[in-house]
Amino acid sequence: MKNILSLLILISSLLAFHSCVQEEDYDNSKQGNFEALWKVMDEHYCFFDYKQQELGVDWDEVHTRYATKVNEKMNNAQLFEVLCNMLAELKDGHVNLSAPFDFGRNWSFYEDYPENYNDSIAKLYLGHNYQIASGLKYITLDDNIGYVRCETFDEGIGDGNVSVMLQSLASCNGLIIDIRGNGGGQLTKAQTLASHFTNEKLLVGYVSHKTGKGRNDLSTPEAIYLDPASDGIRWQKPVVVLTNRAVYSAANDFVKCMKQCPHATIMGAPTGGGSGMPFNSELPNGWSVRYSAVIFYDAQMRHTEFGISPDIPLSMSGADIAEKKDTYIEKAREYLLNSK
């Protein structure tokens, strides 16, 4: 009986020692959802410091200003509008609110700028006989310049696909990689493609993540290197990457990598940016929120959240469009032929 008593005392003391690990209970009112969204961003968003510097965004002031716009009489559509407007203060294409009836976004990074891309004209260069390797459309133009159209990094681009493509274009004097309008996808696919344009291991940037709830709780940036592709073909001739403002996220990272590659030249308009890796969370009412959580810097430890400047700026000429010519492709061909 003494043993049993001892055991019971031991169990009781263990139970008393343990506490529950819990989060605050949710409040699914309009005000509760507003507070939940503000808090998710406050504790997890990685660019507050930078956005304060560049845009003057003070997240506490944003709370004060928008809290007065929320009340329990508003309907879901009105609440959604207020919440989206609050998020739009950050001017971040990776910050979104998803409800069953709408997708909140701020795409001003490209909507407020000239498109510098005409799909129907670009298609004239590809014609009908182009080849496709895992989403990469490619053809040899009549002046012996290779043209590759890469619309997304969502496709499963692998070393084999890239090598087959580069083998097919091996006799070309230069290569154009047209990523205009590429809104991103998988970072690893962008890096796989870029790895075929270097023979050396290159420092291409740094990465830093949140280490706590504080707005400036960030880890010491760690270097990111681009290793040369170990399998297949590596391109040794000049290559031009065509960019516009709709180049975003993983495509922005591709440009960041290509900037360091020895034979690469970036031509076009600045990219749209999007250098934060997005994470997802949710609100008490079930709406999903996406936010930038991890910062990617360039090789000089600069932010690329608002884009990367090209080596040679370009814009589409109205006269060229009237003649059904793509200024970007024509200038790139000229550049590559002159750099033979």
Interaction site with other proteins (CB under 8 A): 1, 3-4, 7, 10-11, 14-15, 17-23, 26, 36, 40, 44, 46, 100, 187-188, 207, 209-213, 217, 219, 222, 224, 277-282, 284-286, 288, 290, 293-294
Report, in Å, the least distance between residue 300 CB and other proteins.
19
Spatial distance between the Cα atoms of 85 and 82, rounded to a whole number of angstroms? 5
Quote the least distance from Cβ 23 to other proteins, whole Å.
5
Q: Shortest gap between Cβ of 188 and other proteins (angstroms)? A: 6
Identify which of 144, 187, 176 has the alpha carbon closest to the alpha carbon of residue 327: 176
* Residue 287 beta carbon to other proteins: minimum distance, rounded to whole angstroms: 8
Distance CA 218, CA 202 (A): 24
Distance (Å, whole) CA 188 – CA 185: 9
| Residue closer to other proteins (CB basis): 36 or 329 | 36
Burial class (CB in 10 A: 0-12, 13-18, 19+), 184: buried
Nearer to other proteins, 99 or 148 (CB): 99
Alpha-carbon span 178 to 47, nearest angstrom: 29
We find the least distance from the C-beta atom of residue 2 to other proteins, in angstroms, to be 9
When the beta carbons of 252 and 327 are compared against other proteins, the nearer one is 252
Nearer to other proteins, 238 or 274 (CB): 274
Task: Centre a 10 Å sphere on the Cβ of residue 41 and count the other Cβ atoms it contains.
Answer: 22
Q: How far is the CB of 87 from other proteins (least distance, A)?
A: 16
Neighbouring C-beta atoms of residue 118, cutoff 10 Å: 18
Nearest 5°: the CA angle 227, 229, 231 is 145
Nearer to other proteins, 279 or 328 (CB): 279
Smallest separation (angstroms) from other proteins to the CB of 123: 30
How many Cβ atoms sit within 10 Å of the Cβ of residue 107?
14
Strand-pairing partners, residue 247, are none
Nearer to other proteins, 1 or 319 (CB): 1
Nearer to other proteins, 196 or 210 (CB): 210
Phi and psi for 215 in degrees, rounded to 5? -65, -25
**Number of neighbouring beta carbons within 10 Å of residue 83:** 25
Q: Give backbone dihedrals phi and psi of 316, rounded to 5 degrees, phi first.
A: -65, 135
